[in-house]
């Protein structure tokens, strides 16, 4: 068995039908021979950019296994397309899933929710960022005390030049 991770996005307008969308996605994977594993993560977030006129959505990540080539050949079913191709095509045709990604979970860390702290808009604006155009004072470097040097006479300067130039 090969383990994969399916990460998909459902728009905020489909929040009422989220259970149905999850069942449809699960049915697509299971009809292709996939078996879902636990756990499952689900998180509502604002999108970085509009996707099909949606600005917020629910991200869902799930892991599943598919039989590898040897197991598929041993089952006796002769399928023309790889199960991932079938799943990919079905999810692309789905009107409920805005975006999705299927990757091999071989080298991925365990699937768990990332703890997030929601802040209000006023809290996010205050304190963390400075206003545009605000002048920030640069920190001053420590200043070493100046040494007071004794005044040097012209004769002393001439002597030093003769020593340096070997005249």
CB-CB contact of 59 with 42 (8 Å): yes
Write out the two tokens for 28.
């697509």
Cα gap 94→22, rounded to integer Å: 12
Cα gap 66→120, rounded to integer Å: 43
Instruction: Count the neighbouring beta carbons within 10 Å of the beta carbon of residue 129.
Output: 9
Contacts of 101 (CB under 8 A, 6+ apart): 6, 7, 8
Size of the chain, expressed as the number of residues it contains = 167
Q: Per-residue pLDDT tens for 41-91?
A: 999 999 999 999 999 999 999 999 998 876 666 665 655 688 999 999 999
pLDDT of residue 131: 60
Q: Per-residue pLDDT tens for 14-52?
A: 989 999 999 999 999 999 889 999 888 999 999 999 999
pLDDT of residue 9: 95
Nearest CA among 23, 6, 17, 25 for reference residue 94: 25
Tell me the pLDDT of the chain averaged across its residues: 83
pLDDT grade for 112, boundaries at 50, 70 and 90: confident
Domains of the chain with bracketed CATH: 2-104 (3.30.70.60)
Contacts of 42 (CB under 8 A, 6+ apart): 58, 59, 60, 61
pLDDT above 70 for 134: no
The owner of tokens 């023309």 is: 80
């Amino acid at each position: 068995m090969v383990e994969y991770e399916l990460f998909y996005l459902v728009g905020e307008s489909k929040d009422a039908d989220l259970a149905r969308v999850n069942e449809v996605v699960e049915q697509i994977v299971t009809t292709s021979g996939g078996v879902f594993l636990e756990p499952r993560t689900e998180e509502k977030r604002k999108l970085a950019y509009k996707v099909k006129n949606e600005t917020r959505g629910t991200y869902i990540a799930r892991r599943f296994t598919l039989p590898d080539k040897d197991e598929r050949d041993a089952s006796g079913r002769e399928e023309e397309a790889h199960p991932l191709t079938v799943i990919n095509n079905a999810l692309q045709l789905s009107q409920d899933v805005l975006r999705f990604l299927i990757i091999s979970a071989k080298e991925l860390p365990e699937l768990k929710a990332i703890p997030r702290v929601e802040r209000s808009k006023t809290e996010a604006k205050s304190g963390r960022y400075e206003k545009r155009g605000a002048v920030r004072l640069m920190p001053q470097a420590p200043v070493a005390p100046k040494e007071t040097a004794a005044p040097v006479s012209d004769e002393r300067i001439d002597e030093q030049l003769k020593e340096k130039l070997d005249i």
